[in-house]
Structure 1
Amino acid sequence: MKGILLNNLGSPDSTATKDVKKYLEEFLMDERVIDIPYWKRYVLIKGIILNFRPKKSAAAYQKIWWDKGSPLVVISERFTEKVKQKVAIPVELAMRYGSMSMEKGIKNLVDKGVTEIFLAPLYPHYAMSSFETVVVKAEEILAEKYSNVKLDVLPPFYNEPDYIKAMSNNIANHLKNFDYDHILFSYHGIPERHIKKSDPTNSHCKIDGSCCERNSVAHHTCYRHQCFETTKEIAKFLKLKEGTYSNAFQSRLLKDPWLKPYTDFELEKFPSVGKKKLAVITPAFVADCLETLEEIAMEGKEEFLKFGGTDYKHIPCMNDNNDWVDVMVSWINEWEKQ
């Protein structure tokens, strides 16, 4: 029997500092998130970051928390329920980190008689700290506990026409009554070294402004290239004029160089160059979460207005949008027929 495992990042169980600390420890100790030797990661995370970050993050979660719980979890559950109603095979939702573990999700499928799993990481783009860690975790669980279960994986869908259409329609719907003079595509940031580590050729990715434009097998695992391609395809679909949109990367951690330009720097700069009516899109996420609801919709707006902006609009993710549900269902049906 075939079954589906939808997978997203995860969330603390509550906004209590102890729950946030537990979640952050699991997340940040992942070697594909902070890719330094274990002993250094242990000292950095458990000896330094977890002494101050949980309280700060808990306060941020409190600003966006819903009555029913974490927005990311609630939205993902709604999306999953809609998908379930449209497919004939078992569907489970799991998170890479937190109590809604992948191990639980896989067990639920196996208990229903599933012997072939279609893993759908809900990340449009490939990155070792998102897509890759989900796939590796699933492989480890199956190898250890369910060696007879076959695994298939939905590839990154950053440029899939149906996804681009659904994304573009969602953006257009939210821009109907907003008179913008610029659109910022704000992607989640990753360290520059992750780009080079993910390059199978060990030579193509130089983050030099041109390597993303030169055709290469490296693009299959290049987060930066894939982000730029998403923007290009959406801009093409919406017929955006050149110069009215741009890319940036948010959510830096530590002091290492991350992908540029940085979103917060761009928000500060735009008003001074005449871009005072701004719409911000977060295409690296399919469901609204801390990084979109607090960092962009709240902090981003405050920062933009502080530096002279006049109008600011955060465009929600597709969440449980019916068009997005139909896209996922079409991919599942296509896989099921194989």
Structure 2
Amino acid sequence: MENNQNKVGVLLANLGTPEAPTAKAVKAFLGEFLHDKRVVDMTRWLWCPLLHGIILPVRSPKVAKLYESVWMEEGSPLMVYSKRQQAALEAKLNMPVELGMTYGSPSLKSGVEALTARGCEKILVFPLYPQYSRTTTAAIFDKLAKSLKQQPALPEFRFINHYYSEEDYIEALAQSVEAHWEQNGKPDMLVCSYHGIPKRYADNGDPYASHCEGTTSKLAARLNTDVPVKMTFQSRFGREEWLQPYTDKTLEVLPSEGIERLDIITPAFSVDCLETLEEIAEQNRDAFMEAGGKEYNYIPCLNDAPAHIEMMCHLVERHTKGW
């Protein structure tokens, strides 16, 4: 057991990823993900036959091919960058840091077990979602509670709810944009694309949309530029209305409005993954260029950039103060 005088550890939590870019692995991952009532709240007797009879058999092979197109030598981008964050954060904080995924491996439970094995009696759960949503942050809380139901003794927990307006987070985003502009010049517009959720969830009290608006407005204020900054929502699924404006539909009309050079950033994602590297960097680029755009640049997620790790350290230090 390592020296850990305050007996405090950090559980970095993210969504998760298939273990391989295969239909079988993707089916297992999507099955767990789309079974979560926080994500899809349809009546189970309606949803489950649809999920297992149509969605998983049809989508899994297609999604597996998309994963294959972005898979890195070390594995899934989400896992590769998450592990780099974990290692960098642990080195900087000098306290135990483990990974736990809401779906797939390593699980939230295994992350807690690894921390307790390292002597941690107090655990800060750090969801890597800047903007809170019932579909992401709350899903971590539910899954963690459920996974520990049979534990005879529990560590003490603290939970980071969100950090969408943290000064260090906005600064890290702004630095990534400014570094890109310094190298490539300024665009006609900067689009902030956030993962969408059903509009109904927001209407029923999920603060995600307002958090996204907060991040966008603070980033625009910090950049203090004549480049217009626009907010959109990506990755919608199913037929019901999701938060708008939709990223893909927006990019299809921007060239007709005189926007020929476009930069796009994804502030809801703490690490690059399928939704950023394939959907935004590839699919949406094609849509914009086919509509008449001249130049399209995807600005990567913060990943393990020094400014991002510094921000994470400050958050951990503040949330564990006095513990």
Please give the per-residue CA displacement for 1:134-167, whole angstroms capped at 9, x wherever unaligned.
Answer: 1121222334325431110112000011111111
TM-score (norm 1): 0.91
Q: Check if 1:292 corresponds to 2:298.
A: no
Structure 2: which 5+ residue stretches go unaligned?
1-6
The answer for the alignment partner of 1:265 in structure 2 is 249
The answer for the alignment partner of 1:59 in structure 2 is 65
Specify which of 281, 297, 304 is matched with residue 313 of structure 1. 297
Specify which of 199, 212, 215 is matched with residue 192 of structure 1. 199
- In structure 2, distance between residues paired with 1:269 and 1:192: 22
The answer for the alignment partner of 2:100 in structure 1 is 94
Letter in 2 for 1:28: L
Q: Secondary structure at the match of 1:323?
A: helix
The answer for the alignment partner of 2:20 in structure 1 is 14
Please give the per-residue CA displacement for 1:72-122, whole angstroms capped at 9, x wherever unaligned.
Answer: 100010111001101232110111111211111111112222221100000
- In structure 1, distance between residues paired with 2:154 and 2:302: 35
Specify which of 223, 233, 237 is matched with residue 249 of structure 1. 233
- In structure 2, distance between residues paired with 1:146 and 1:5: 20
Q: Secondary structure at the match of 1:272?
A: helix
The answer for the alignment partner of 2:4 in structure 1 is none
Q: Secondary structure at the match of 2:150?
A: helix
- In structure 2, distance between residues paired with 1:36 and 1:94: 27
Q: Judge which range, 91-100 or 229-238, deviates more.
A: 91-100
Counterparts of 1:162-241 in structure 2 under 5 Å?
162-176=168-182, 177-197=184-204, 199=205, 221-241=206-226
- In structure 2, distance between residues paired with 1:254 and 1:55: 18
Counterparts of 1:30-109 in structure 2 under 5 Å?
30-109=36-115
Q: Judge which range, 141-150 or 164-173, deviates more.
A: 141-150
Structure 1: which 5+ residue stretches go unaligned?
200-220
Q: 1:196 to 1:281 in 2, by over 3 A?
A: same
Q: Secondary structure at the match of 1:10?
A: coil
The answer for the alignment partner of 2:287 in structure 1 is 303
- In structure 1, distance between residues paired with 2:242 and 2:120: 41
Q: Secondary structure at the match of 1:32?
A: coil
Task: Report deviation, 1:196.
Answer: 2.6
Pairs aligned (count) = 315
Q: Secondary structure at the match of 1:313?
A: strand
The answer for the alignment partner of 1:216 in structure 2 is none
Letter in 2 for 1:178: G
Task: Report deviation, 1:297.
Answer: 0.3
Query: Which aligned segments of 4 or more residues in structure 1 are displaced greater than 6 angstroms?
Result: none
Q: Secondary structure at the match of 1:258?
A: coil
Identical residues among aligned pairs (%) = 38
Counterpart contact for 1:142–1:149, Cα < 8 Å = no
Specify which of 240, 246, 259 is matched with residue 275 of structure 1. 259
Letter in 1 for 2:83: E
Over the aligned positions, Cα root-mean-square deviation in angstroms equals 1.2
